Each structure stands twice: as structure tokens, then as C-alpha cells.
Structure 1
Amino acid sequence: MRYLTTNMSECINGVLKGARRLPISALVEITLERTVHYFRVRAIKGQKMLQNNQLWTDFACKMFISWQQKAVEHTITKYSHAQQSASVVTRRQNRHGMITHVVKIANRECSCGKYNQFGIPCSHAQKVCGAYNISAASMVKDYYDLMAYNNTYSKHFEPVQSEDYWDDPNFQLVHDPTIRTVTRPGRN
């Protein structure tokens, strides 16, 4: 199983691509400009997905459908109706397959780890959902819902006026001599 990480740093790196070695004022400007563009593009995309009557984001729809198609080839053995647990055996393909996974729908877990990683029921969980007459769609995590997606990108940004129109600060910045940066030995 892969590590569970957020992709926020990769996202920011993508937004700031090509912005290295710029003066700080230019870096701030380009960060704002690209962030506004990033949000605007995704807000438009979210509205289009809503107009197409999608339930979830494109990523979630693609994963759900892909795993739904794979679930047809699995075989299932039910174990506990109370826990809605079962073992699922995958079909053999290219030296892979014939692997048994344990699924516990009541606990929302599968031994393959994909449901915990992605928040979308894997093919094994979807097969077990079908066997117990449970809607696999109801198990997709809420953060893939289009309302959540659109709420994320619906915020607006205010344009920044020219520096000439900024209010003068009512204070004077004073350097604190007790705070010193640590330098490497041999450097001044």
C-alpha cells in the first residue's frame, strides 16, 4: 500500500512552476495571479460537472466506474450478514489475480487498502455491496461530492490596488537585535 499523503505541496509547486529566482515582490504577484487562475479554472469546471448532473468529481467518477467494471469478474463468499463481511477472489490475469481480499462493509474497509487510500469503494467492496444489496455509491467519501468541490473553489479574490493607493502604516518597523539568524561556521 502506498503512503497516505496530501498533494498540497505538489499543487503549490505546480502553481509556482517557473517562478524561481524572482524578486520577492514579483513572486508575491505571480503567486496571487496563478492562485486566482487556479481557483477560477476549477470553479468553471465544477459548474460544468454540475450541469452534466455528475454526482462526484471527474476523478471519483472515473475510479468508481473503472472498479465497478472490474467487480464483475470477482467471485465472492459471504461470511457475516451482521458485519456484512465477505471474501472476494480476483480473476487471474497476466500472472496476477487469484488473490483473496477480506471486505467488511460495516467497517468500510477492504484488505487491499484502496478504500482507505482513495475514499472510493474498490472493486472488492463494490462486489460485496452488490451481494448485500447496499448502494456502493453511498460509500464514496463526502469530499468527492460536487457541492464540496464547488464550495472549495467558489471563494473570490479581491484585486490589489497599486501601491500608491495603499494606506500608510501607523507604526515604524524596528529591527529586533536579539533575533539573529544561524549561519554556518566560517561565514560572515
Structure 2
Amino acid sequence: MTMNISECVNSILKGVKNLPVCSLLKATYRRLAELFVRKGREAEAHMGSGQQFSQHLVKCIEANLKTARCFTVTVYDRNNSEFTVAETTPTGSFSLGSYRVSLASHTCDCGYFQALHFPCPHALACCAYSRLTWEPYVH
């Protein structure tokens, strides 16, 4: 992970690495300002089209939904929306095991639900089991 970050920074600063610190900061500021303007326009266009979530998020959710089909869900506590999710077949990204999911507190033992702030495959399996939509669980 460190290598990817350093390579990313090096590629961004490719043409200005040998400049003095002041020039380096100005170039970095200019590039960030351009990025924020571009991303702001993209977000405005996205919101103007009536879509609630970004394309990247929808792709991640679709991939997680495919993975969620390989799980068996057991209700642990229906009042608190807590479930136990067991993998029936290996998915590649998770090892065979059991995960505890709390939809009410937006947590899962795998850690992805808390870290990414959108439902992991285990949480999506619980949503499908309970016939709930996943949209309310996106931060």
C-alpha cells in the first residue's frame, strides 16, 4: 500500500520534483484546485441527472451483491437487526467463516461495513434476507 501511494505522489509531482519548495507548493495547489473544480462539476452533473449514488458506489454494491449470494444468514436478534452470516462457498475475498452483522449499528466482523461506510457483502446478504433495501445503510 505504501508503494502505491508513493508511486501516485511521484507521478503527480513528476514535472516539478526538482523545483524549490515554494514552487512545488504552488504547483500542488494549482493541481488540487483544478481537481476540485473538475470533481465538483462531475458531482453537480450527477446530482442534476437525479441519481442518488455515484457510479463507483453502485458498481461496488453490485459486486458485493454477487458475492452475497454465497452466504447463509441466520437471525441472531431480530429486534436489534443482528445476524450471523456464514459462508457456504469460498468467495476469494473472504475466508470460510462466520460473521456477525448489525444493521442497526452499521457494523460487521469483516470490518468493511465500518471502514467503507456502505454495506459489505455480509450486510447485503442480511438486507436480502430481511427484504430490506441497501440504500439506508450507505453513509
- TM-score past 0.5 threshold: yes
Q: Which runs of 5+ in 2 are unaligned?
A: 1-5
How high is the TM-score relative to the length of structure 2?
0.77
8 Å CA contact 1:63–1:120 kept in 2: the answer is no
The partner residue of 1:67 within 64, 78, 87 is: 64
2:38 is the alignment partner of 1:41: yes
Aligned to 2:85: 88
The partner residue of 1:110 within 104, 108, 111 is: 108
| RMSD of aligned residue pairs (Cα, Å) | 2.9
Distance 1:70 1:121 in 2: 12
Aligned pairs (5 A) from 1:8-47: 15-47=12-44
What percentage of aligned pairs have identical amino acids?
23
Distance 1:71 1:24 in 2: 49
Distance 2:91 2:111 in 1: 22
Q: Which has the higher contact order (CA 8 A, sep 6+)?
A: 1
Q: Which runs of 5+ in 1 are unaligned?
A: 1-8, 142-188
Partner secondary structure for residue 86 of structure 1: strand
How high is the TM-score relative to the length of structure 1?
0.59
Offset at 1:65?
1.8
Larger helix fraction of residues:
2
**How has the CA–CA distance of structure 1 residues 128 and 10 changed in structure 2, closer, same or farther, with 3 Å as cutoff?**
farther
Offset at 1:138?
0.4
**1:14-58 C-alpha deviation (Å, 9 max, x unpaired):** 654432221344324322321221112212221332244332233
**How has the CA–CA distance of structure 1 residues 10 and 80 changed in structure 2, closer, same or farther, with 3 Å as cutoff?**
farther
**1:55-110 C-alpha deviation (Å, 9 max, x unpaired):** 22333222222112221222111121111111111232378653211111122211
Distance 2:32 2:8 in 1: 10
2:128 is the alignment partner of 1:133: no
Aligned to 2:3: none
Mean CA deviation greater in 77-86 or 96-105: 96-105
Q: Which has the larger radius of gyration?
A: 1
**How has the CA–CA distance of structure 1 residues 42 and 14 changed in structure 2, closer, same or farther, with 3 Å as cutoff?**
farther
The number of residues matched between the two structures is 134
Distance 2:63 2:54 in 1: 14
Mean CA deviation greater in 60-69 or 13-22: 13-22
Aligned to 1:179: none
Distance 2:114 2:87 in 1: 19
Offset at 1:13?
6.5
**Residue type of the alignment partner of 1:63:** C
Larger strand fraction of residues:
2
**Residue type of the alignment partner of 2:117:** G
8 Å CA contact 2:72–2:85 kept in 1: the answer is yes
**Residue type of the alignment partner of 2:74:** T
